[in-house]
Chains A and B, each alone.
Chain A
Amino acid sequence: MPDSETVSNNLKHHFANLEQQTATSKFGMWLFLATEVMFFGGMFVSYLVYRLSYYNAWVAGSQTMEITLGATNTAVLICSSLTMVMAVHFAKLGKRKLTAIFLIATLVLGMTFLGIKGVEYYKHWVHHEVPGPNFHFEHEGNFDPRHVSIFFTLYFAMTGMHALHMVIGVGLLSWLLILNALERFSAEYNSPVEIVGLYWHFVDVIWIYLFPLLYLISHRHTG
């Protein structure tokens, strides 16, 4: 479809022009992300309170984490943020093919993250580190294993909610790829790509904090 049609098809009647509509969409996404800060914030503050209470158990729990996998996943997410920002960049220039290439790259990196996270979850399950009747933690040190269970509860809650956001992000990227293939975007109209980009980067920011808080409390030299 011609580019001018993408504007006339997508401009809602209650907006004066497309610039105003785009600014409003972006503002709406930022507002949603502010509520997401509070959503994750509750878990971050729980983490903080329990960490101050049961620091030694927190260290013991953190030392079971595989830093290599965590660091790799951090790098994967950072790379996916770069590809996302490139997809937005090319969407704004109206280059559909390059937009598609970078959206696919972001999608693949997002799924790589989830795959590595899945490997980690599997290892936690095998090592009886999932809170519940199956939970068992070798007691060696000045801490209560039940407090390590609290660490893992927060670990699974925080990384699990983060992973859910990643799954939703993968869904949104697939949706963008379909719309892009149907030529619904142009240099004039591309705000869906831009606001999904905002969401994707926000999920990256959450992980940027989760990585040091969960993996790097006290480093174990594994050689």
Chain B
Amino acid sequence: MDEHAHPSVMTFVAVWITLLFFTGLTVFAATLELGPFNAIVALGIATIKALLVVLFFMELHYSTALTKVIAIAAIFFFMLLAGLTLSDYLTRGWSTYPSTH
């Protein structure tokens, strides 16, 4: 891995503009009536923004394999936490959760 490889100032500015654009887009998307897709769109945009920050500002894209493993492990363990918790709550009574009130 070339230690000196890191993104240029132009890359940073391009990422910054994209992040601001997606912030505007997520506020706009919230004004649309999309039902359950509102949450999916909002989280999708947030994830794109988070990936841009992590890959380019935190330079994960240019980091060692070991660092990438740690980043993926963090996501994996969060998914484990969320997944196992929801597998409990969402299966309590099967059809009565989430409640409608």
Contact = CB atoms under 8 A, between A and B. Distances in A.
A22 B92 CA distance: 49
Interface of A: 19, 22-23, 26-27, 30-31, 33-34, 37-38, 41-42, 44-45, 48-49, 52-53, 55-56, 67, 71, 74-75, 78-79, 81-82, 84-86, 89, 92, 142-143, 197-198, 201-202, 204-205, 208-209, 211-213, 216-219, 221
A201 B54 contact: yes
Interface residues of B, number: 48
Given A19-B3, A30-B71, A208-B46, A82 B13 contact: yes
A52 B39 CA distance: 12
Given A19-B3, A52-B97, A71-B23, A208 B50 contact: yes
Given A52-B98, A204-B53, A212 B64 contact: no
Contacts of A216: 26-27, 30, 38, 42
22 contacts: A22-B3, A30-B67, A34-B71, A34-B74, A52-B89, A53-B97, A53-B99, A55-B98, A71-B24, A75-B23, A79-B16, A81-B53, A82-B13, A82-B15, A84-B57, A89-B6, A89-B9, A198-B58, A202-B58, A209-B50, A216-B38, A216-B42
